[in-house]
Amino acid sequence: PHAGPVESKNEAAMSELVPEPRQKPVVPMKPMGINANLLGYIGIDTIIEQMRKKTMKTGFDFNIMVVGQSGLGKSTLVNTLFKSQVSRKSSGWNREEKIPKTVEIKAIGHVIEEGGVKMKLTVIDTPGFGDQINNENCWEPIEKYINEQYEKFLKEEVNIARKKRIPDTRVHCCLYFISPTGHSLRPLDLEFMKHLSKVVNIIPVIAKADTMTLEEKTEFKQRVRKELEVNGIEFYPQKEFDEDLEDKTENDKIRQESMPFAVVGSDKEYQVNGKRVLGRKTPWGIIEVENLTHCEFALLRDFVIRTHLQDLKEVTHNIHYETYRAKRLNDNGGLPPMTVETEENHESNL
């Protein structure tokens, strides 16, 4: 009977000596001294300059596709975007060519340089799109072309002795021109965007916006946004690809306020208040292309070139191309099917 309290005292003493085993924290602890104070200058900050020099030497690729009916000013707008004659029509093609019976794909490449930065620009035009009486499945040649460029890149990538820098012909951006009717999107517009938004970055633009009043333009933009939402059409920048809160805030503003951009293009210069401006002359005045009170061309240019050009390329590579690549390799058990040409290449490589 006297043993009980002695045992309980011993147990209490033991529990004091041996602490209970703690559970390991789920989140690994940050290493100490993560913000170490440097005692002097090392030169880590020159990495950015090293990267800049390297990319300046190699240059940049950018491939832009324009899709829409004839007469919506696609060629003019592309020339205005890059302030040079880069479109198909201004590059020696016959201006009096007839409307093709089926959709054709015509790509033209240029090297343009600004401030020491070289860019290999390819403009891909789609004459014949939406110009027939029966436009059924007229997006198919466009989809086929886009996928062919992915296939070309993939074949180069899976080669045993592949090039250090694979030529990039993939379509980074597709400007889709909406007719300025002021009513609603045509079934063709919806069908095209529904099919192609999964394979390419689509940026919808309302062409020839100077044909509408300001009220009509605002109303039409809201209606187009609503129709795209109702039909579940994702345009660039897609919500699910926003990487952080800053991107999301910036892109939400663009999606809710700017899209689709109501634009006017012109490659003619006029004198306005002693300044040379790009514009369109009308009997009642000059529409200044780069003036935000006149149209949203400046917003589109800033969006495509000054803020999102690199992101357009990254989304093309990391999302659209990866989706194509995964599906293609999965369908063929790991590699594209061998052709006589690839067999010969492999033998020569070996």
- CA 138 from chain centre, in angstroms, equals 23
Number of domains in the chain: 1
- Mean of pLDDT values over 129-156: 87
Q: Is 79 exposed, middle or buried (0-12, 13-18, 19+ CB in 10 A)?
A: buried
**Is pLDDT above 70 for 221?**
yes
Query: How many angstroms from the chain centroid is the CA of residue 164?
Result: 24
**CB proximity list for 288: less than 8 A, separation 6 or greater:** 272, 277, 278, 279, 294
Task: Please check whether residue 212 lies inside any domain of the structure.
Answer: yes
What does 69-137 look like in DSSP terms, one character per residue? -TTS-HHHHHHHHHTS--SSTTTT--TTPPPPSS---EEEEEEEEETTEEEEEEEEE-TTTT-SS--TT
Per-residue pLDDT reduced to its tens digit, 49-90: 888 888 888 888 899 999 988 888 888 888 888 888 887 765
- Give the C-alpha separation, 216 to 259, whole Å: 15
Structure tokens at 234: 């994702």
Pairing of strands 60-67, 269-272: unpaired
pLDDT at 21 over 70: no
* Higher local confidence (pLDDT), 277 or 10: 277
Task: Report percent pLDDT > 90 for the chain.
Answer: 16
pLDDT of 91 > 60? The answer is no
Least confident of 61-70, 99-108, 191-200, 336-345: 336-345
Which is higher by pLDDT, 22 or 100? Answer: 100
Banded model confidence at residue 176, pLDDT cuts 50, 70, 90: very high
List, edge to edge, every strand of the sheet that includes 261-262.
106-114, 117-125, 60-67, 173-178, 202-206, 261-262
Distance CA 269, CA 280 (A): 8
Give the orientation angle of helix 322-331 with respect to helix 140-158, to 10 degrees. Answer: 70
Per-chain mean pLDDT for the chain: 80
Tens digits of residue pLDDT in 315-350? 999 999 999 999 988 887 655 555 545 555 555 554
Backbone angles phi, psi at 159, to 5 degrees: -60, 145
Residue 32 DSSP symbol:
T
CA dihedral 90, 93, 97, 101 (to 10 degrees): -110
Question: Does pLDDT of 233 surpass 60?
Answer: yes
Within a domain: 143:
yes
Please give the average per-residue pLDDT across 245-258, as a whole number.
Answer: 83
The pLDDT of residue 150 is 92
Give residue 285's region: left, alpha or beta (phi > 0; psi -120 to 50): left
Position 146 pLDDT exceeds 90: yes
For residue 247, being part of any structural domain is answered with yes
d(CA 282, CA 265): 14
> What is the pairing mode between strands 173-178 and 60-67?
parallel
Q: Is the dihedral of CA 323, 329, 334, 336 positive or negative?
A: negative
- Residue 101 belongs to some domain of the structure: yes
At 134, which CATH number? Answer: 3.40.50.300
130 or 310, which is more confident? 310
- The answer to whether residue 234 sits within a structural domain is yes
Amino acid at position 1, single letter: P
Highest mean pLDDT among 101-105, 151-155, 242-246, 248-252: 151-155
β-pairing, 202-206 vs 261-262, is parallel
What is the residue range of 215's domain?
57-262+291-330
Give the predicted TM-score (pTM) of the model.
Answer: 0.78
Retrieve residue 110's tokens: 């240029």
